[in-house]
Amino acid sequence: MTPRALSRYVPTDPKRVPQEAAANAGSPSRTMDAFERIRADIMQGRLHPGARMKIEEMRAHYKVGLSPLREALSLLTSEHLVERIDQRGFRVAPASLAEFTELLQTRCWLEERALRESIRHGGAAWEEGVVIAHHRLHRLKRAAGTDHSVVATAWEDAHRAFHTALISRCGSTILLRFCDQLYDMNVRYRQIAGIYAYPRRNIETEHREIVKAALARDADAAVAKLVTHYEKTGAYLKKALA
C-alpha cells in the first residue's frame, strides 16, 4: 500500500496511539516501513497464505522492534491480509477458491454501480482522465524484464490508475475505498495463482472497448464489457486455484 493509502489507517490522534508506541520515538515511521514491507511480501506471495507469522523471526528479518511490528500486523488485519489466531499470534490470511469467487462477484457488483454513476456524473475532466490513464497504461510492458514472477510495479500502478479513473466520479468515497481494497485482494490472488499472461486474450482490446463505451455514455455496454473483462481474468485464476 502506498503512503497515501496507509494514511487512512495510521492514527494521527496521540490519544489513540498505544502507550508503548507513543513512548517509542519515531514509531509511526517504523510502523509504516514494516507495514509496507510485510504487505509487499504478502502481496507478492513471499509470505504464503496461512503461514504462521513468528514474531521473533519477523523482528530479525525485517529489523524492526516489537511495538512497530505488532502495530504493522494489526494494520494488516484491517486489510484482511493478516489474521489473529490467538491472543498474541498472527498468520498470513488464507486463500481459497471460494473466497476468490466471492471476491470476484463482489468486485463486479460494486464496480458496476461505480461505473454507472461515473458515466452519469463525469464531465470533460473525467473523460480526459480516463483517456490519459488508458494511454499511459498501454505504453507500458506488463512484465518487468524477463522476470515474470513479479508484475512490473509501473504496469500495476498504471493498471490501478486506469480502473480507478473509470469509476472516479461515482460520487462516493466509501464505494471507492471498497473498490480499492478489492483491487488489492485481486492482485494478491493473481500472485498466488502465478498467472502473469493470459493466452488467447487481448487485454489492450478489452480495455479499449471499455473506454469506448464509457466515453460514449453507454453505461450498459461499458458495464457489460468491464464485468466480462473481470470474469475472463477470474476464469484463469479459478482454474489455477482449483
pLDDT at 87: 74
Q: What would the pLDDT profile of 109-125 be if each residue is shown by its tens digit?
A: 999 999 999 999 999 99
Domain co-membership, 153 together with 88 = no
Sequential DSSP letters for 90-104: EEEPP--HHHHHHHH
Q: Which residues pair with 143 in a beta bridge?
A: 151
Query: Is the same domain home to 121 and 213?
Result: yes
Cell of 31: 510502523
Last residue of a domain, one of 74, 92, 110: 92
- Reported as a pLDDT band with limits 50, 70 and 90, residue 1 is very low
Q: Which of 127-131, 154-158, 203-207 has the highest mean pLDDT?
A: 127-131
| Count of residues making up the chain | 242
Report the domain count for the chain.
2
The position carrying cell 479499449 is: 208
- Per-residue pLDDT band for 5 (boundaries 50, 70, 90) equals very low
Q: What is the DSSP letter of 15?
A: G
Residues 189-204 pLDDT 10s: 988 887 666 778 889 9
* CATH number for position 157: 1.20.120.530
Q: Tell me, what's the pLDDT at 142?
A: 60
Q: What is the pLDDT of residues 80-111, one digit of tens each?
A: 899 998 877 899 999 999 999 999 999 999 99
Which of 36, 60, 92 terminates a domain? The answer is 92
CATH assignment at residue 43: 1.10.10.10
d(CA 228, CA 52): 36
